C-alpha cells in the first residue's frame, strides 16, 4: 500500500493529491483557528480539524509524511484492538484493507474508523469510555455515533448515550471557543447533489445509456450529475435515508433479545443502510464497513458473517472504480456502468441481508 501511494501511478493518479493539496490547504487555515469559510469542498463536522491538524505532532516530517504515518498508527491501533478481541476480526481487517489499494493511506477515514472500532469494543467493559469515543467520532465524521445504537436497554444505554452526549457537548464547546465558523460545513452539505458513485448516480448513469440528457460535472469536491431529474433523485435519496432512520428506530423499539454481538451487528446494519441511501458513496466508505465487519467477526455470536464476506468483493470493485478505472465511470462507459451496478448491487444486498439477520436475531 505504501509503495503504491509513493508511486501513485495506478489509474487516476490523484490519490495522494488530496493530502498534498486539499488537506494541507485546510491545515494552513485551521492552524490559525479558522475553519474553511465558503469552501465547497469542506463538508466535515468541526471535529475533523483534530485529524487534519494532527500532523503538527510530527514537525520533523512533511505534512504528507506525517499524515501517512499517523494513518499507519491508527491502522496499528485497530489491528491491536481487534487481535485482542478476536483474531478473526483482526485478520479480516489486515487482509481487507489492502483490497482498497493505496486509498486508505491517503484519506482520513482510517483514524475515524479507529475511533469507532475502539468505541464498539469498549462498550461492554467500559461503557463510559465507549460512549465518549462514539461522541468524539460523531464530531469527526458523524457515522461513529451509530456504534451506540445497539446498546442493551436500561442502565447501559443510559450510561453510554449520556457519555456520548457529554463528549459531544464538551468537544463542541472547545471547538467553538478555539475556532471561528465551525458549523459552516452544514451549508456545503445541504447543497450537495448526486455523486456518480452513489446508488442514485448508478440509476442516472443507466438512464444516460437510454437517452437521458444529464451530464457529469465536478462540483463540491466530487463528480456529480447535473440535468433533469437530478434534484428529484437527490430528494429521493434523502427520503430513503429518513426511511432507514425510521426502520432503525422501529428495530430499537421492537428488539427484545440482546446478545454479546448485538451492538456490533446493529452498528454494521445502520452504517450500511445510510451508505446505500446516501447521495454519496465514496470508495473510502468501504474502510468503515470493513472495520465494522471486522468487529462483528471478533464475536462468535455475530449474525453478520455473510455480510462481512460481501465486503471483500465490494472493496475489490471499489478499487476498480477508483482509482483503477475511474475514467470509465466518469464517462459512463459500458464497463463503468457495469462496475457501478456490481459494486452498489453488492452493498444493497449486504444492507438487506444485514437488516434481515439483525431483525430475526433480536425481534
- Three-class SS state of 343: helix
Distances in Å between the Cα of 125 and the Cα atoms of 119, 137, 149, 249 are 11, 19, 17, 25
- How many Cα neighbours within 13 Å face the side chain of 4? 17
> What local confidence, expressed as pLDDT, does residue 302 receive?
98
Q: Select from 276, 253, 258, 238 the least CA-distant residue to 354.
A: 276
Q: Which three cell numbers stand for residue 321?
A: 472504480
Give the residue among 143, 142, 146, 148 at the shortest CA–CA distance from 130. Answer: 148
Q: How many CB atoms lie within 10 A of CB 158?
A: 13
Peptide bond into 323 cis (omega under 30): yes
Q: Which of 11, 15, 19 is nearest to 66 (CA)?
A: 19
In this predicted model, what pLDDT tens digit does every residue of 150-204 receive, in sequence order?
A: 999 999 999 999 999 999 999 999 998 888 877 766 665 555 779 999 999 999 9
pLDDT of 251-297, one tens digit each? 999 999 999 999 999 999 999 999 999 999 999 999 999 999 999 99
How far are the Cα atoms of 101, 233, 282 from residue 319, in angstroms, in the given order? Answer: 7, 25, 11
Query: How long is the chain?
Result: 363
Cα dist from 301 to 31, 260, 308, 360, whole Å: 45, 7, 14, 14
Which helix (H) or strand (E) segment is 194 a member of? Answer: strand 194-195
End-to-end CA distance of the chain: 42
Helix (H) / strand (E) element for 216: namely: strand 215-219
pLDDT of residue 42: 85
- What pLDDT score was predicted for residue 218? 86
Helices (H) and strands (E) in the chain — how many of each? 17, 3
At 243, give phi and psi (nearest 5°). Answer: -65, -40
Quote the pLDDT of residue 179. Answer: 87
Residues 6+ apart with CB under 8 A from 66: 54, 55, 56, 57, 58, 59
Q: Dihedral of the CA atoms 76, 80, 82, 86 (nearest 10)?
A: 150
344 close to 281: Cβ distance less than 8 angstroms: yes
pLDDT at 40: 78
Please say whether the beta carbons of 291 and 308 come within 8 A. no
Residue ranges in the chain modelled with pLDDT below 50 = none
Residue at grid coordinates 451496478? 341
Task: State the pTM of this model.
Answer: 0.96
Amino acid at each position: 500500500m505504501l509503495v503504491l501511494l509513493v508511486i501513485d501511478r495506478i489509474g487516476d493518479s490523484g490519490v495522494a493529491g488530496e493530502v498534498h493539496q486539499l488537506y494541507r490547504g485546510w491545515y494552513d487555515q485551521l492552524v490559525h483557528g479558522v475553519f474553511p469559510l465558503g469552501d465547497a469542498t469542506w463538508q466535515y463536522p468541526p471535529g475533523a480539524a483534530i485529524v487534519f491538524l494532527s500532523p503538527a505532532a510530527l514537525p520533523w516530517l512533511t505534512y504528507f509524511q506525517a499524515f501517512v504515518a499517523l494513518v499507519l498508527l491508527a491502522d496499528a491501533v485497530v489491528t491491536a484492538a481487534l487481535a485482542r478481541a478476536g483474531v478473526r476480526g483482526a485478520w479480516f481487517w489486515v487482509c481487507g484493507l489492502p483490497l482498497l489499494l493505496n486509498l486508505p493511506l491517503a484519506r482520513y477515514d482510517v483514524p475515524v474508523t479507529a475511533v469507532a472500532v475502539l468505541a464498539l469494543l469498549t462498550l461492554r467493559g467500559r461503557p463510559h469510555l465507549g460512549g465518549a469515543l462514539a461522541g468524539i467520532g460523531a464530531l469527526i465524521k458523524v457515522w461513529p455515533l451509530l456504534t451506540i445504537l445497539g446498546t442493551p436497554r436500561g442502565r447501559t444505554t443510559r450510561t453510554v448515550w449520556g457519555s456520548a452526549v457529554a463528549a459531544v457537548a464538551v468537544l463542541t464547546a472547545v471547538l467553538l471557543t478555539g475556532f471561528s465558523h465551525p458549523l459552516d460545513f452544514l451549508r456545503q452539505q445541504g447543497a450537495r447533489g448526486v455523486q456518480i458513485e452513489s446508488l442514485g448516480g448508478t440509476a442516472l448513469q443507466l438512464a444516460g445509456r437510454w437517452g437521458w440528457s444529464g451530464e457529469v460535472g465536478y462540483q463540491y469536491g466530487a463528480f456529480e450529475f447535473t440535468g433533469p431529474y437530478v434534484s428529484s433523485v437527490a430528494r429521493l435519496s434523502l427520503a430513503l435515508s429518513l426511511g432507514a432512520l425510521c426502520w432503525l428506530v422501529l428495530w430499537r423499539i421492537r428488539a427484545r433479545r440482546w446478545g454479546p454481538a448485538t451492538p456490533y451487528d446493529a452498528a454494521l446494519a445502520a452504517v450500511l443502510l445510510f451508505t446505500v441511501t446516501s447521495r454519496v458513496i465514496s470508495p473510502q466508505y468501504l474502510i468503515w464497513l470493513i472495520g465494522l465487519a471486522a468487529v462483528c467477526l471478533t464475536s462468535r455470536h455475530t449474525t453478520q458473517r455473510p455480510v462481512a464476506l460481501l465486503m471483500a468483493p465490494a472493496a475489490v470493485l471499489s478499487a476498480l472504480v477508483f482509482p483503477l478505472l475511474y475514467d470509465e465511470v466518469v464517462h459512463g462507459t459500458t464497463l463503468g456502468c457495469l462496475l457501478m451496478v456490481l459494486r452498489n448491487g453488492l452493498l444493497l444486498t449486504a444492507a438487506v441481508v444485514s437488516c434481515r439477520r439483525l431483525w430475526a436475531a433480536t425481534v
